Structure 1
Amino acid sequence: MRIGLQKLKSKLDQLYSVYNRKQYVDPDPLLFLYNYPDVRDREIAGIIVSSLAYGRVAMIMQTVSAVLEKMGPDLYEFIMNAEPKTISCLFQNFKYRFATADHLCALIMGLQAVIADYGSLSTCFTMDPTGKTDLSGGLARIRAYVLRAGDAGHLLADPGKTSACKRSHLFLRWMVRKDQVDPGGWSNVPAAALTCPVDAHMFKIGHMLGFTKRRSADGICAAQITEGFRRISPDDPVKYDFCLTRFGIRNGLDLAELEQFLKSDSHHV
């Protein structure tokens, strides 16, 4: 689909104004982050929620709810004080698709190690000796700490591989951006540095907009789609992620309707 940048920006801004609202979040797992006003708790919730954000959304919501309920309302307190035996006992019956109790326990104990050494996930993420914002470096640093505690399996993607690391970039979007939908909290990371979380819906949208021709939703594809949005919104290339991915996720909003709106001369969504 060929559309001028100014017209596309106008269209995307209209979609943002209509759909980038909390009323359209449910059943997105982002809902869980709203329960944690303290950023120390929110970043822990964010990384656990995003790590489990794959598969059918109803099962994601059910699984995440059960995990966070066992950890209690003060996630930072739990992470810093729970003994390995306590963690293992709490989650001994955990199973979600490819994730086992051992994977989840390794993730939680790894987060405990990160926070014990750095004070927060945010500090660990931004500890780049060059002073630059390096998303891959920050994600790799957190992942390396977690892996020292045990095998967390696929729960944290390896940014050094060809994957789009969708769940990791979703976590960063939640923690870095702050608007009516994304709660933010990591003010030391610029929104301009973010990469678009490319799931099946954003993959199709990226093709629809002509931002990518990749045949798979890999890291190159994510970079191309992000660059496409960066031409429209250089300071916040992930701004339109939430409102666009409502199409194809929420009942009554499908991708065909989105494409028709973007092609039309209508000024009303």
Structure 2
Amino acid sequence: MFSFGEIPQHAELRALFEDLYLRYNRREFVHPDPVELLYCYQETGDREVAALLAAALAYGRASQIVKKASQVLEVMGASPKGFVLSHSLKELQKVFKDFKHRFTDGKSVAGLFYGIRGVLLEYGSLEMCAECYVNEGHLKAKEAITGLFESLLRHGMPSSVLPDPRKPSACKRLYLFLKWMIRKDSIDPGGWSALKPSELIYPLDTHIFSIARALGATDRKSADFKAALDVTEFFRRINPLDPLKYDFVLTRFGIRPDLNKKEFLEICCGNRMKKGH
């Protein structure tokens, strides 16, 4: 069992997170996580298409997400970008007619790819599309992802395939996609330069939300967009240049038997957690 040592003060959180990062931010600890599906694509144009597909399916059990996304990517071959550019909507619907992942069926996947096709033909890449919508505001990640989402809709993507960043939801899957494409380390493959890591918004799921609330990062009662901003700001204070750096290792709690979430939170929060405050 991993030992965290002495209970740190709040100012020591970064040292604790850095220790976790050094220990667990490794490829050997990735499976099952959909980010593993992106490692085989050396061209950014292929990786961004694969990443958006993986993000669209990133709900439910991780192992099932990997399984279903793998099925789609195997059909697409070595170049997902080339695949979507070379198929019509009718052809895409035929190829994926038997696909099903929870609420996402083959028609939805075909629609997603057709929307991607239209964006690629108009802008040249998903990144160039997203970058066109980035202004000088403090929420550049939201601008980028909203512009991309609207462009995909305009080119035929069904609105149900991805969460709508214009609504109050945390849009975890879209900000997860952005994290994969912007950050670059042992886990996140990167490839985009449209944003800096410091400008990303936390891909807030229920697991990270529960940790964030325990750490006092937010007092929101639901994992909505405002909560995602709270959590982002909390981690930005710990690591201003890369607030999402510890996302992967924190998601290992509840997955790895040698990482105890309760112990971790008690150490982070000290007696406040033990007293139930």
Instruction: Answer yes or no: same fold by TM over 0.5.
Output: yes
Q: SS of 1:35's equivalent?
A: coil
> TM-score, length-normalised on structure 2?
0.89
The partner residue of 1:171 within 177, 180, 195 is 177
Which residue number in structure 2 is paired with residue 45 of structure 1? Answer: 50
- Following superposition, the deviation at residue 261 of structure 1 comes to 4.3
- Following superposition, the deviation at residue 152 of structure 1 comes to 2.3
The partner residue of 2:154 within 142, 148, 157 is 148
Which residue number in structure 2 is paired with residue 267 of structure 1? Answer: none
Which residue number in structure 1 is paired with residue 201 of structure 2? Answer: 195
State which drifts further: 255-264 or 171-180.
Answer: 255-264
Which residue number in structure 2 is paired with residue 109 of structure 1? Answer: 114
Label 1:118 to 1:79 Cα distance change in 2 as closer, same or farther (>3 A).
Answer: same
Give aligned pairs, total: 263
Q: What is the CA–CA distance in structure 2 between the aligned matches of 1:114 and 1:220, rounded to whole Å? A: 29
After superposition, the C-alpha distances for 1:21-61 in whole angstroms (9 at most, x for unaligned) are 11111111100000111111000011100110001122111
Letter in 2 for 1:24: F
After superposition, the C-alpha distances for 1:60-91 in whole angstroms (9 at most, x for unaligned) are 11110111111111111112111222211100
Q: What is the CA–CA distance in structure 2 between the aligned matches of 1:129 and 1:24, rounded to whole Å? A: 34
Which residue number in structure 1 is paired with residue 247 of structure 2? Answer: 241
Letter in 2 for 1:49: A
After superposition, the C-alpha distances for 1:130-181 in whole angstroms (9 at most, x for unaligned) are 4667222221222122223435243221111110010111111111001111
CA contact (8 A) 1:106 1:149 kept: no
Which residue number in structure 1 is paired with residue 163 of structure 2? Answer: 157
After superposition, the C-alpha distances for 1:165-218 in whole angstroms (9 at most, x for unaligned) are 101111111110011111110123100100111112100110121101111100
Runs of 5+ unmatched residues, structure 1: 265-269
- Following superposition, the deviation at residue 113 of structure 1 comes to 0.5
Which residue number in structure 2 is paired with residue 89 of structure 1? Answer: 94
Letter in 2 for 1:16: Y
Label 1:64 to 1:129 Cα distance change in 2 as closer, same or farther (>3 A).
Answer: closer
Q: What is the CA–CA distance in structure 1 between the aligned matches of 2:257 and 2:61, rounded to whole Å? A: 14
1:16 aligns with 2:21: yes
State which drifts further: 224-233 or 127-136.
Answer: 127-136
Runs of 5+ unmatched residues, structure 2: 1-6, 271-277
Label 1:25 to 1:170 Cα distance change in 2 as closer, same or farther (>3 A).
Answer: same
Q: What is the CA–CA distance in structure 1 between the aligned matches of 2:202 and 2:17, rounded to whole Å? A: 15
State which drifts further: 94-103 or 17-26.
Answer: 94-103
Identity rate, percent: 40
Label 1:129 to 1:232 Cα distance change in 2 as closer, same or farther (>3 A).
Answer: closer
Q: What is the CA–CA distance in structure 2 between the aligned matches of 1:59 and 1:194, rounded to whole Å? A: 27
Letter in 2 for 1:95: K
Q: What is the CA–CA distance in structure 1 between the aligned matches of 2:8 and 2:161, rounded to whole Å? A: 38
Which residue number in structure 2 is paired with residue 123 of structure 1? Answer: 128
